[in-house]
Each structure stands twice: as structure tokens, then as C-alpha cells.
């Protein structure tokens, strides 16, 4: 997901009025400002040749692009560069007089709608947002997923289907599966999530009339209910892993799947794997991270040692690594102490799970 960050905003302006607006905005929002050589001032960078050439060079280097110029010109410049809303940067267009701020591209996933509202507030301009869910005052499933750092099977297709269903007046229920967090005494951050237009469900045995059910859960199953169920899986499960040198990648992969299944955790919930820093180049662990499309985090012995003292000791691990255990202290640090289930120990591999919602 493309998240707009203040330090990764590029602005392009073509007129003296645009330069004045850019100076106002750059005082409130960190950004790199580009303009033509003839309008260049201190703090601005010159176009690398033409506007189109400059935009093409930096399009994927920034999370958000702001254009102070005509919308039509912006469209022509960015058209050859657009891929999809899950990877394109946010694009916002502002007119030369600062009267309107227009969310043009990646309104939800890229954050252009939020950035447009923010910029409009800074300038006293009118925000122009055309996303159907926004103008109808409805939540968007992709935004909810972003707020939860969640995903689902066939994410693009199903998000589009659910958003369209809501915009067309369909009834989409929302159920928070609190049981999937019960063992670690945590709760979903419901108060921080946009759920406008969704029908909040508290009892799956007493469903109102619905067209679909959005089911937020870490579990690897879905309820048997008489409506289509779309499971939204927050990516908050971490796995601390220790293994003998040159353990086959297939072994570690299979055992992680086994450990997740033993706790009835959906594999989509995995957020990261971790180990001790001496394992930073372990092929099986690096391969596993790539296979699961998650970060591989490592911790030094010095950081792990105080935590490892609270867990069972393996003399072999202590001789090789310098501490008596790896997977448990790593998972403890990654999850702030919220471990799930027992540690798996087999075939020279140890795996401990945790949850870091």
C-alpha cells in the first residue's frame, strides 16, 4: 500500500502564482518543489528538462505529487506513468489561484483524498473529491483495510465488489471476531476505524437482512452464515524463529504453516518473521520472508539476552548463538510480550508466535 508521508511529497509549479502557492505550502508541509529555470527561487529545484521528463523521473520516488497547474495538463503528463491504485502515488492538483484542491489519483490507497483535504485546509480552498464512497459518506473497504493493516484473498477484486455494493445501496455487515484475540486479552481498534454505512453485527446467529458480511478475524475459518462472507485479515501475527544452519527452506516453511494451523491462524495474518542477528544471512529464513512477502527482522544477542533469561535454555543454542533461546525472546520483543500458543520444537527448528495489534 502506498502511504503518503510528509517527507516524500513533490510539488510542480509553472507560473509565478504557482510559485507563491508552493512557498506557502512548503512552509507547512515538507516537500521538494520543482519549477522552470525562469521561475527558480531559493529552495526550489529546476525541472530536469521538461515538466513531463521531470515527473517521469520522480514519479515512483515520492508518495505524493502536487501539481499547481491545469488538470488537463496534469492528466497528460501522468497518463503514461500510471499502473494501478495500489502502487501509484497520490496526485493532487491545485489551480493557480489556490481556490480548489483536486484529488486526482490514488484517493484511497495512496492517500490523495486525505492530502487534498489537508492542503485545502491550509489554503482555505475547496477540496474536490469524487470517490463514490466519500461523496456518499460511506466507509471504503480498502481504507478500513489500511487502518487495520489488513488484507483478504483476491483483495483488489473483492474490495471493488464490496465498495460498489455499498455505493449501490447494498447492505454489508461488519463483524469483529473478538474471539481471535481473546487469548492475548486484546481488542480490535474499532474506535479508530471508519465504518460508516456498514451494518455492525454483534450476533452471527441473529443476522439482519444482508447482501454480504465483512468478517474481521485472524482465524483460518469463516462462519457458516446464509450470506457471502469476505474475511478481512489484519496482518499482526509475528513469528520468532530459530534453526540450525542450512536447514532446508521447505522444512522451515512447512513448520511455520503447521504452527499457524495449530493456532487456527490464517497465513495472511503474518506480519513479520524474526530471529537473532547471527541468522541474518540464513537462506531458509530469508527465503521464507520472501515467500510470505513479509519483513525479516533480526535482533542482537545483547538485546535478546535480558528477555531470553525468562525462557527455557538450550545448552546447544547457548554455545552456538550466545543465548539459551532464540524464537521465544524474539517473538516476545516483536509482539510486546503477547505470545500465542506453545513453541514448536522439531527438526532443529523452533517457532514461537505472537500478536502485535
Q: Which residues pair with 352 in a beta bridge?
A: 240
Name the segment(s) of the chain with CATH classification 3.30.420.180. 237-355
Cα–Cα distance between 196 and 217 in angstroms, integer?
A: 19
Say how far apart CA 56 and CA 294 lie, in whole Å.
29
Closest by alpha carbon to 202, among 182, 221, 177, 222?
Answer: 177
Q: Which pLDDT score is estimated for 1?
A: 36
**What are residue 62's phi and psi, to 5 degrees?**
-125, 150
pLDDT tens digits for range 5-46: 445 899 999 999 999 999 999 888 899 999 999 998 899 999
For CATH 3.40.50.11220, list the domain ranges present in the chain. Answer: 6-130
Asked if 348 and 247 touch (Cβ cutoff 8 Å), the reply is yes
Q: Which cell goes with 207?
A: 443476522
The band of 131, judged by pLDDT with boundaries at 50, 70 and 90, is confident
237-355 has CATH 2.60.40.10 classification: no
Q: What is the pLDDT of residue 6?
A: 47
Question: Hey, how many other C-beta atoms are within 10 angstroms of the C-beta on 100?
Answer: 16
pLDDT in tens, 331-343: 999 999 999 999 9
Local confidence band at 357 (pLDDT 50, 70, 90 cut-offs) = confident
**pLDDT tens string 284-332:** 999 999 999 999 999 999 999 999 888 988 888 888 888 889 999 999 9
Taking only the tens place, the pLDDT of each residue in 47-94 is 999 999 999 999 999 999 999 999 999 999 999 999 887 789 999 999
d(CA 222, CA 151): 15
Sign of CA dihedral 185, 188, 190, 192: positive
pTM: 0.77
CATH architecture of 6-130: 3-Layer(aba) Sandwich (3.40)
List, for residues 150-159, the tens digit of each pLDDT value. Answer: 999 999 899 9
- Residue found by looking up cell 465488489 in the block: 161
Amino acid at each position: 500500500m502506498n502511504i503518503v508521508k510528509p517527507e516524500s511529497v513533490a510539488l510542480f509549479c509553472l507560473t509565478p502564482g504557482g510559485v507563491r502557492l508552493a512557498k506557502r505550502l512548503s512552509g507547512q508541509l515538507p516537500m521538494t518543489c520543482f519549477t522552470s529555470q525562469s521561475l527558480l527561487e531559493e529552495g526550489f529545484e529546476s525541472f530536469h528538462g521538461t515538466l513531463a521528463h521531470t515527473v517521469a523521473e520522480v514519479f515512483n520516488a515520492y508518495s505524493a505529487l502536487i501539481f499547481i497547474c491545469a488538470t488537463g495538463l496534469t492528466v497528460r503528463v501522468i497518463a503514461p506513468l500510471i499502473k494501478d491504485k495500489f502502487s501509484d502515488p497520490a496526485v493532487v492538483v491545485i489551480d493557480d489561484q489556490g481556490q480548489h484542491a483536486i484529488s486526482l489519483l490514488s484517493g484511497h490507497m495512496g492517500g490523495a483524498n486525505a492530502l487534498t483535504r489537508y492542503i485545502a485546509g491550509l489554503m482555505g480552498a475547496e477540496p474536490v473529491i469524487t470517490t463514490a464512497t466519500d461523496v456518499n459518506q460511506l466507509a471504503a473497504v480498502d481504507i478500513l483495510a489500511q487502518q487495520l493493516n489488513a488484507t483478504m484473498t483476491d483483495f483488489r477484486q473483492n474490495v471493488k465488489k464490496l465498495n460498489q455494493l455499498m455505493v449501490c445501496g447494498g447492505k454489508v455487515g461488519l463483524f469483529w471476531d473478538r474471539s481471535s484475540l481473546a487469548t492475548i486479552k486484546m481488542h480490535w481498534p474499532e474506535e479508530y476505524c471508519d465504518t460508516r454505512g456498514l451494518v455492525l453485527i454483534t450476533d452471527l446467529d441473529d443476522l439482519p437482512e444482508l447482501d454480504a458480511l465483512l468478517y474481521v478475524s485472524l482465524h483460518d475459518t469463516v462462519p457458516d452464515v446464509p450470506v457471502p462472507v469476505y474475511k478481512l485479515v489484519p496482518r499482526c501475527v509475528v513469528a520468532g524463529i530459530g534453526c540450525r544452519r542450512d536447514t532446508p527452506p521447505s522444512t522451515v516453511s512447512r513448520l511455520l504453516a503447521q504452527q499457524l494451523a495449530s493456532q487456527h491462524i490464517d497465513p495472511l495474518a503474518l506480519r513479520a518473521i524474526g530471529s537473532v542477528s547471527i541468522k541474518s544471512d540464513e537462506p531458509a529464513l530469508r527465503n521464507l520472508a520472501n515467500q510470505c512477502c513479509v519483513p525479516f527482522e533480526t535482533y542482537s544477542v545483547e538485546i535478546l539476552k535480558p528477555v531470553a533469561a525468562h525462557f527455557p535454555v538450550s545448552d546447544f543454542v547457548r554455545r552456538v548463538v550466545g543465548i539459551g533461546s532464540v524464537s521465544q525472546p524474539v517473538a516476545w520483543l516483536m509482539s510486546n510480550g503477547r505470545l500465542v500458543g506453545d513453541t514448536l520444537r522439531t527438526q532443529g527448528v523452533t517457532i514461537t508466535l505472537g500478536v502485535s495489534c
